[in-house]
């Protein structure tokens, strides 16, 4: 009864158009009333306690770093380097998009930011070269969602906080699945363009490639610093966010000299707005998560999934299907903050590695970012490119199908993820 009440109020509020954060608060209040423990003081205190978390400090700093990279010239140089390395191949602009997606994922951690940067730079070039419009948009959007998986990742930070999972291990564990997502896009793109007659770019000389590598060296060094520093214990993920922000500002202002004072002010303003929205959502979600625990909703869910507890792979498959359906109608952050606290006790009861579960959850939610009808990244790509949604939807399906197949392989054969993860973590 309690589980039905919570989900009913939450889903009903969202359907009525209430913002997810307020829908979570309303669902939490419904639980308090049902348990006859309603107190506005407790509600306010829980809301503040929800955001009083050291790991969450990483979010504003990574947001600042991502914004600085876009406006300070780091992203632009990554695209130029990718163009010089693979732009001359048949369908080369598509390979440039994939290569750039993987590199940018190691810089910003934001799918929306990466997708917007890719589309604004590469889509006009792909259109002028007569690339199929739908497939081009589908590829650019699909490349953008690698960002939440490869560290530094805002999504993995939220999953770590919501599920009490090691963010360091999530970061390191996300490297191989993220690279495999990139490899999947390469395979799908190669198949789709095999019979297309596409213009090719002139092959860059070795001297040009070396020149562009030198120019982009400082941008490429950032993910090495972040991942290496976390892996070898030089700093925590939160401290890595501060390092990333300071490093990005230094490179943009001192080395590349493309960041103006006005640009820096606008960057901080944009990052501040994004931080406020994310933090309020996190606070509301933590209130709901606390009441979910008090009301023993995970135990009720465990009873429903009881027959699958002894079959971890089947349980994971069922959970992944549920998350995929939820991700089609809800954005990544609320999906994480609602479902992870609810599912973690069940995952632990089934003996599933929490880090592995967190990575699978992240990949699944990322797919939801390009899946109609909501598809936040898909909408951003259409907005920036000014392409009709119908065209984008037609072009995105081969990439969604490939990602779902990859996710299914991860679920069927967990060792694909866990073995390299444990080797990297050491």
**344-375 confidence digits (pLDDT tens):** 888 988 899 999 999 999 999 999 889 886 67
Residue 16 belongs to some domain of the structure:
no
Question: Measured between alpha carbons, how far is residue 399 from residues 97, 101, 130, 162, 334 in Å?
Answer: 14, 14, 20, 29, 24
**The tokens of 23 are what?**
């829908």
Give me the residue label for tokens 């996710």. Answer: 407
pTM of the model: 0.85
d(CA 169, CA 358): 10
Residue 14 belongs to some domain of the structure:
no
CB neighbour list of residue 186: distance below 8 Å, 6 or more residues apart: 95, 98
How many domains, the chain? 1
Question: Can you give the pLDDT at residue 153?
Answer: 84
Alpha carbon 370 to its chain centroid, in Å, reads 11
b vs e for 270-293, b when ≥16 Cβ sit within 10 Å of the residue's Cβ?
Answer: bbeebbeebbbbbbbbbbbbbbbe
Residue 34 belongs to some domain of the structure:
no
Question: Measured between alpha carbons, how far is residue 102 from residues 98, 115, 179, 404 in Å?
Answer: 6, 11, 7, 19
Residue 19 belongs to some domain of the structure:
no
Residue 257 belongs to some domain of the structure:
yes
CB neighbour list of residue 232: distance below 8 Å, 6 or more residues apart: none
Domain containing 191 equals 39-425
Residue 9 belongs to some domain of the structure:
no
b vs e for 249-262, b when ≥16 Cβ sit within 10 Å of the residue's Cβ?
Answer: bebbbeebeebeee
d(CA 312, CA 352): 7
Residue 408 belongs to some domain of the structure:
yes
Read off φ and ψ for residue 388, nearest 5 degrees.
-65, 145
pLDDT tens across the length of the chain (426 residues): 676 777 788 778 877 877 777 888 888 888 788 877 777 777 778 777 777 777 778 888 888 887 787 777 777 788 888 888 877 787 888 888 898 888 888 777 778 777 877 887 788 888 888 888 889 899 999 998 998 999 888 889 989 988 889 999 999 999 999 999 999 999 999 998 887 777 677 788 888 888 888 888 888 888 888 888 888 888 888 888 888 888 888 888 888 888 888 888 888 888 888 888 888 878 887 787 777 777 776 677 777 777 788 888 999 999 999 888 888 877 788 888 888 888 888 898 889 999 999 999 999 999 988 988 667 888 888 887 888 888 888 889 999 999 999 999 999 999 999 999 988 886
Instruction: Answer left, alpha or beta for residue 77, where phi above 0 means left and psi between -120 and 50 means alpha.
Output: alpha
- Give 270-294 pLDDT, tens digit per residue: 888 888 888 887 888 778 777 777 7
Question: Can you give the pLDDT at residue 1?
Answer: 61
Residue 332 belongs to some domain of the structure:
yes
């Amino acid at each position: 009864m309690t589980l039905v009440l919570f989900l009913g109020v939450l889903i009903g509020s969202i359907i009525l158009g209430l913002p997810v954060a307020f829908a979570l608060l309303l669902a939490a209040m419904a639980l308090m009333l049902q348990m006859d423990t309603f107190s506005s003081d407790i509600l306010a205190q829980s809301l503040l306690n929800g955001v009083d978390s050291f790991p969450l400090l990483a979010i504003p700093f990574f947001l600042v770093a991502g914004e600085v990279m876009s406006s300070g010239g780091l992203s632009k140089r990554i695209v130029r380097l990718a163009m010089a390395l693979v732009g001359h191949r048949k369908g080369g602009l598509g390979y440039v998009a994939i290569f750039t997606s993987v590199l940018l994922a190691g810089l910003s951690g934001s799918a929306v930011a990466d997708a917007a940067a890719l589309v604004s730079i590469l889509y006009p070039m792909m259109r002028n070269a007569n690339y199929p419009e739908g497939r081009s948009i589908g590829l650019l959007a699909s490349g953008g969602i690698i960002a939440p998986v490869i560290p530094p990742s805002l999504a993995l930070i939220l999953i770590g906080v919501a599920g009490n999972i090691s963010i360091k291990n999530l970061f390191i564990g996300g490297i191989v699945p993220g690279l495999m997502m990139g490899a999947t896009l390469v395979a799908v793109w190669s198949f789709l363009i095999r019979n297309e007659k596409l213009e090719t770019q002139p092959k860059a000389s070795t001297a040009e490639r070396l020149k562009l590598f030198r120019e982009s060296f400082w941008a490429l060094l950032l993910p090495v610093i972040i991942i290496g520093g976390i892996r070898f214990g030089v700093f925590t993920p939160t401290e890595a966010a501060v390092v990333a922000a300071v490093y990005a500002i230094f490179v943009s202002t001192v080395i590349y000299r493309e960041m103006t004072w006005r640009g820096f002010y606008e960057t901080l303003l944009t990052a501040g707005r994004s931080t406020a929205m994310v933090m309020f959502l996190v606070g509301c979600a933590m209130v709901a998560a606390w009441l979910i625990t008090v009301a023993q909703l995970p135990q009720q869910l465990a009873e429903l999934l009881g027959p699958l507890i002894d079959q971890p792979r089947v349980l994971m498959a069922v959970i992944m299907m549920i998350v995929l359906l939820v991700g089609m109608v809800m954005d990544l952050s609320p999906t994480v903050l609602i479902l992870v606290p609810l599912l973690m006790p069940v995952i632990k009861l089934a003996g599933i590695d929490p880090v592995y579960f967190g990575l699978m959850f992240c990949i699944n939610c990322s797919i939801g970012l390009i899946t109609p009808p909501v598809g936040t990244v898909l909408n951003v790509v259409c907005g920036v490119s000014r392409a009709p949604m119908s065209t984008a939807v037609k072009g995105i399906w081969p990439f969604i199908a490939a990602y779902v197949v990859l996710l299914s392989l991860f679920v069927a054969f967990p060792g694909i993820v866990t073995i390299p993860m444990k080797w990297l973590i050491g």
